[in-house]
Amino acid sequence: MTCIKKIKTALISVYNKENLAPLIKKLNQLNIKIYSTGGTQKFIEDLEIDVTSVESLTTYPPILGGRVKTLHPKIFGGILSRRSNENDNNEIKNYDIPEIDLVIVDLYPFKETIASGAKEEEIIEKIDIGGISLIRAAAKNYTDVFTISSRNQYKLLLDILNKNNGETSIEERKIFARQAFNISSDYDTTIFKYFNNENLNVFKESITSSTTLRYGENPHQKGVFFGEFDKLFDKLNGKEISYNNLLDIDAAVKLINEFKETSFVIMKHNNACGVASRTKLIDAWKEALSGDPVSAFGGILITNSKLDKETATEINKLFFEVIIAPDYENEAFEILRQNKKRIILIQKEFSSQKKQFKSILNGVIAQDTDTKIEEEKDLRLISNSKPTKDNIIDLIFANKIVKHSKSNSIVLAKDKKLLASGVGQTSRVDALKQAINKANSFGNNLEGGVMASDAFFPFGDSVEIAYNAGITSVIQPGGSIRDKESIDFCNNNNMSMVFTGIRHFKH
């Protein structure tokens, strides 16, 4: 099948005009009528070659800042008309549509614009609409139309024109049509990846620099931190920060950022073992430590208030790895730096990352950071009994902690103090029992306390166990098909319960 076609008309609309001039001159030599737009039209005119503007054909000027130039029936009718189809021929004759035998396009450089670090507005404007439509239309009608879809093909077309004196075979047209759809597909894929790769872009930004760590989670594992720690913290003292230190620092910062009142947090293995909010920092420290003084040994300490001498003196009695504060009194710093290995950090003001990443299988998963934390207006009373004002304060306090605890998680709290938590359990009942046992072992009275759960209770047993331990108010997401069991128990035992509608799993 040869089906030779003589090129009589060409539409040229290209971004990159390098090596275009010899091709234009050849088209002119072959007496091929040329239609063109904007910058390409001026380029051809500068070569002193006749060219017809697209707007003279469509009777419309470029509009919307150049977004619409070729998108018109007189253009696409001329490209898509089937020369052997009588109805098509009659219609283009009736509407005075010229047949277009050759389409030459070079698309806006979308990929290059992204790589240049351009702003989003500029990137969006480099999404080619008219050009990609011209390519697809011409390639679809390859039986009659020859398609050039990239500047890399200018020379190839010139060779064909020189060899065949302006004629093309259907085999040639089909080969270039196939290449056109390949270019079109790749172009669309690049655009899709841009819109879908917000996660990837954030990830790339986070790995612009790296620091080799002493080792990973264990001494036999190599570790590297991809990021710029110095942008987030000033390190005033201490040994090299380890892989595990970084994990605990990250967890500590995320939790303390939930609190506005003067607060102290003690982290151990990514979970809070001590949290308290008080007017005075020394009181916040003492209450946080009393929650679990055993687990606090070797932990990560963090506060949202300037560390004073009185508090530093008490803290210095405990062995710990890292302490973080927004600032330190000079005397407090001198006390803490007596241990040369102790890591002392000043936390700078910074915005938390909007995306989180985790390496799994042979790839990486990403998600939006869980920035939601419930306020009093978000609580939906689900029981007959209402929580007291103090209960509500404690419920919100406990809910902040459970959000940052490993699932399955239960937090018990009272008077803005963490009494105990059960974390990382395969059963919510086990998490609750763990919390109750821990609270009792350290003499933390649960009477009148509150319970927070990171997810709904699948049965009513947890609420009953908590009640028997002294808990009087509960906060949970709700949403179990057996919520009624928990609600009924609260109503029958004068307990209050609120639903948040928000689950806070942390795996």
Active site residues: 140, 269
Phi and psi, residue 238, nearest 5°: 110, 175
Say how many residues make up the chain: 507
Q: Residue 155 and residue 175: Cα distance in Å, rounded? A: 15
Concatenated DSSP letters for 90-135? HHHHHTTPPP--EEEEE---HHHHHHTT--HHHHHHTS-SHHHHHH
- Nearest partner of 413 among 445, 370, 442, 388, judged by Cα: 445
Concatenated DSSP letters for 319-376? --SEEEES-B-HHHHHHHTTSTT-EEEEEPP-PPPSEEEEEETTEEEEEE-------G
Enumerate residues 6+ apart whose C-beta is below 8 A from 350: 231, 232
The tokens describing 183, both together, are 């270019």
**Contact in structure between 316 and 338 (CB atoms under 8 Å):** yes
Residue 373, CA atoms < 13 Å, CB-side half-sphere: 18
Helix (H) or strand (E) holding 237: strand 233-237
- The CA-based dihedral angle spanning residues 19, 23, 24, 29, taken in that order and rounded to the nearest 10 degrees: 150
Q: Looking at this protein, which amino acid is placed at residue 172?
A: E
**Contact in structure between 13 and 40 (CB atoms under 8 Å):** yes
Torsion 214-218-224-227 (CA) sign: negative
Q: Residue 124 and residue 194: Cα distance in Å, rounded? A: 10
Phi and psi, residue 258, nearest 5°: -75, -15
The tokens describing 344, both together, are 């002392």
* Rg of the chain on CA atoms, in Å: 35
